[in-house]
Amino acid sequence: MAKEKTVYVCSNCGQDSPKWVGKCPSCGEWNTYVEEIVRKEPTNRRPVSGIETQKPKPVILSEIVADDEPRIDMHDDELNRVLGGGLVQGSLVLIGGEPGIGKSTLVMQTVLHMPEKRILYVSGEESARQLKLRADRLSGVSSDCLIVCETSLEQIYVHIKNTNPDLVIIDSIQTISTENIESSPGSIAQVRECSASILRFAKETHTPVLLIGHINKEGSIAGPKVLEHIVDTVLQFEGDQHYMYRILRSIKNRFGSTAELGIYEMRQDGLRQVSNPSELLLSQDHEGMSGVAIASAIEGIRPFLIETQALVSSAVYGNPQRSATGFDLRRMNMLLAVLEKRVGFKLAQKDVFLNIAGGLKVNDPAIDLPVISAILSSNMDAAIEPEVCMAGEIGLSGEIRPVNRIEQRIGEAEKLGFKRFLLPKYNLQGIDTKKLKIELVPVRKVEEAFRALFG
């Protein structure tokens, strides 16, 4: 007979306590503890999935065969790249994002392009008719995908046993519940137990599982933090609903890099892969406009050119404002301090607004030079030539530090027709300038860069 007890669990971080407390001692949030009824099951019970497996035995490390993991082609170049080359057998992948951003659309679109695989799509949020209407709108390849609307974990395992699928999709993990716990679906205990049970199933049967998850108001995955620890890969699907671009990022990946980025364009008939984001992000004509600089950035293995926009104006309401969209505000304040101390530009009494065009968030330090160039361009109201591109990290003493993979950055700028490229002087070593059609302008300090740009 299962024993029952009541515990209080923090809905923010998952910390439990035998009694209710106002402030969580783990995450510091107030009034986040909710009551949960936990049933302690006998240790000799059968696994929830109903699949009996042999108990593992210790193996000598040198005897373990470490071949490359066989991967499933998702027929989507952007998704394959973010996953690290495809979906690994027996892996558990979590896709999170805001409501209405396109998580279910992305997964359904991928399913429709995999007719060679037997796929079980478990929907806990939508009816079969709603899924059919979405599939018709996406107009993909006709697929023999199996659809079941179910929220009970035990019944899901029955359907898996009967159909023996190659891939299982669960939409969403917050709607699934197990009978072993008497709390409501989406609670801390239910999400933790269901995800742990699904992980055991995936590893024991080598069946890959895709989970779709909700996010909270802070933008992180909803539910206990242990959910992100359990899964093999966490993908964040983000973007502004007012823009048509969507970005797929890898936050955690046990089988690939977390620096990869996939870009999609939201259309009426689904998500279109953007294979060349540079042309997309530089679609606006900015000739003769001040405060615009073109940066050559790299995310993962992909170089692309982005537009850095800045606006500098006199502060009217006392304290000057500092605002950055898509760029680290603290780093922008550091660059402004370098401009004032090392170069002599007085920006202390001016409002400075910075924006990375296209809704991108960029962490590449190589866009330091374009950022301060755009700020000075706006401050002096002098436009930068439209055929100039640049990359460089700024040090605290005003020097321009070298950046990685400079050949790829130069090649992307040359491919898009740029005539001049500002780069750190140290990066010029080892580059064969004879083969290049673009003029390279090496700069060592911030003052040299400004003389090259503004004369």
| pLDDT single digits (tens) 351-385 | 999 999 877 888 899 999 999 999 999 999 999 99
Q: Per-residue DSSP letters for 17-46?
A: ESS--SB-TTT--BS-EEEEEEEE--TTPP
Q: Per-residue DSSP letters for 218-265?
A: TSSBSS-THHHHHSSEEEEEE--TTSSEEEEEEEEETTS-SS-EEEEE
Distance separating alpha carbons of residues 101 and 279, to the nearest angstrom: 23
Of 281, 308, 282, the C-alpha closest to 377 is: 308
Q: What is the pLDDT of residues 155-188, one digit of tens each?
A: 999 999 999 999 999 988 999 999 888 778 888 8
Q: 65-74, 109-118, 346-355 — which is least confidently predicted?
A: 65-74
Q: State percent of the chain over pLDDT 70.
A: 93
Q: For the CA atoms of the chain, what is the radius of gyration?
A: 26
The residues that bridge with 265 in the sheet, in sequence order, are 245, 272
Q: State percent of the chain over pLDDT 90.
A: 41
Q: What is the pLDDT of residues 308-357, one digit of tens each?
A: 999 999 887 778 899 999 899 999 999 999 999 888 888 888 999 999 98
pLDDT of 56 strictly over 90? no
Q: Is the dihedral of CA 58, 61, 64, 67 positive or negative?
A: positive
pLDDT of 444 strictly over 90? yes
The residue with greater pLDDT, 67 or 188, is 188
The residues that bridge with 6 in the sheet, in sequence order, are 37
3-class SS of residue 268? coil
Of 195, 223, 243, 201, the C-alpha closest to 356 is: 243
**Confidence band of 244 (pLDDT split at 50, 70, 90):** confident
Over residues 112-116, mean pLDDT: 87
Question: Which residue shows structure tokens 């609903």?
Answer: 241
Q: Contact 255/84 with Cβ under 8 angstroms?
A: yes
pLDDT at res. 1:
45
Q: Which residues are annotated as a binding site?
A: 97-104
Of 366, 217, 210, 221, the C-alpha closest to 293 is: 366
> What is the enclosing helix (H) or strand (E) of 439?
strand 439-443
Over residues 112-119, mean pLDDT: 89
**Confidence band of 52 (pLDDT split at 50, 70, 90):** low
> What is the enclosing helix (H) or strand (E) of 189?
helix 188-205
Mean pLDDT of the chain: 86
Contacts of 258 (CB under 8 A, 6+ apart): 250, 251, 252
Q: 44-58, 225-239, 254-268, 329-343 — which is least confidently predicted?
A: 44-58
Q: Which residues are annotated as a binding site for ATP?
A: 97-104
Q: What is the pLDDT of residues 259-277, one digit of tens each?
A: 788 888 888 888 888 887 7
Q: What is the pLDDT of residues 199-213, one digit of tens each?
A: 999 998 899 999 999
pLDDT of 126 strictly over 50? yes
pLDDT of 46 strictly over 60? no
Over residues 129-133, mean pLDDT: 90
pLDDT of 294 strictly over 80? yes
Q: pTM of the entire structure? A: 0.75
Q: 124-138, 199-213, 240-254, 262-276 — which is least confidently predicted?
A: 240-254
pLDDT of 43 strictly over 50? no
